Amino acid sequence: MIKLAVPKEQHLNESRVSVTPDCIPQLKKIGFDIFIESGAGERASFPDSMYIKAGAKISRNPKDLFKNAKLVIKIQRPFKSTKKNELSFFEPDINFLGLIYSSRFKQEFELLKKKKVNVFAMELMPRISRAQSMDVLSSQSNLSGYKAVVDAASIYNKAFPLMMTSAGTIAPAKILVIGAGVAGLQAIATAKRLGSVVFCFDVRSATKEQVESLGGNFIEVENEDSGETESGYAKEMSASYKKKQSKLLEENIKKMDIVITTALIPGKAAPVLISKKMVKTMKTGSLIMDLASEFGGNCELTKHGEVVDFETKKIVGPKNLPSSVAQDASRLYSKNILNFLNNSCEDGKFVDFNWDDELVKGTCLTKLKKGK
């Protein structure tokens, strides 16, 4: 049996756990002996007793948890502070799976490399059909899009749906979603279910059909460029396009009650699409929910982890939305990981990663083992 270790997440505002009890029997079946750090799943409503019942072992000492482990699975990068340093527990040749973001957290990544750890950055999963069930960014972004609308509804001081009462009629909220990726499309669907009128902007013309299928109204800049990379992600556009885009957004934003931004460019800072000048033109009491705040933000005024009050408007830079629905987010992440490990199984058993597989190559950041 191969030892698989699941540490408790230590980063602030992180309530998820990387492996959930429902996946334990399947992991055992393919050859893993699963050790869970005590309390790892509590914040996601998975107590130790559920893991024990599923067939996992509970470890109360982090050092013992990591000892002789072949795989360590987390959500966030290893935690390091003056009181606790998870990096000190890593042994050479451990396979570590998690969300790494090596270009942003270079120091932690370099320390893992020095430890001779095989680092798998799950956020780099190639965007191909057979990888969909392993795509952690998609599973977590789906929940982010949903939660962004729910949180916006709780902050916004008006109702979302059309209401006709004896005292008068309440007009439906107008919501603009910027970015029709996984998070954006879920935001559209959720906002529609709550009764609002939804508009969406995306540089990729191919997303128009998806937006309209959810009941959204697609607004676009006339352009011959498809606006997407070969991998299907939005790409950085030309200066002339950006000028037209800015004018289009300026015209539409002032009509909106809520704007939800999700625009990201892989490997780069989030594009700033909403200027201070645009915010000034927005309605009194309107709201911007900036899902790109962790990567710099799509709004010039965004501050990550804060609610900025600006001339009767609010700009929200939410922190780790998937963690606020930790139970579902953990289940989806755990299933993604299980599917990734299954991908390297031979005859129903996991012995090692299939180092020739494009999904393994695409996610493994460090030098592969000799002879592999």
Residues marked as catalytic = 127, 132, 135, 138, 233
Handedness of CA 35, 38, 39, 40 (dihedral sign): negative
- Cβ of 216: how many Cβ atoms within 10 Å? 26
Q: CA torsion angle for 227, 230, 231, 235 (degrees, to 10)?
A: -30
- Cβ of 205: how many Cβ atoms within 10 Å? 17
DSSP state for residue 156 in the 8-state scheme: S
**Rounded Cα–Cα distance for residues 44 and 320 (Å):** 14
Rounded to an integer, what is the distance from CA 41 to the centroid of its chain?
19
**Rounded Cα–Cα distance for residues 87 and 76 (Å):** 13
Tokens representing 66? 């990591």
CB burial string 307-340: b at 16+ within 10 A, e below: ebeeeebbbbbbebbbbbbbbbbbbbbbbbbbbb
Tokens representing 168? 């008068």
CB 178 within 8 A of CB 363: no
Task: Region of 284 please: left (phi>0), alpha (psi -120 to 50) or beta.
Answer: beta
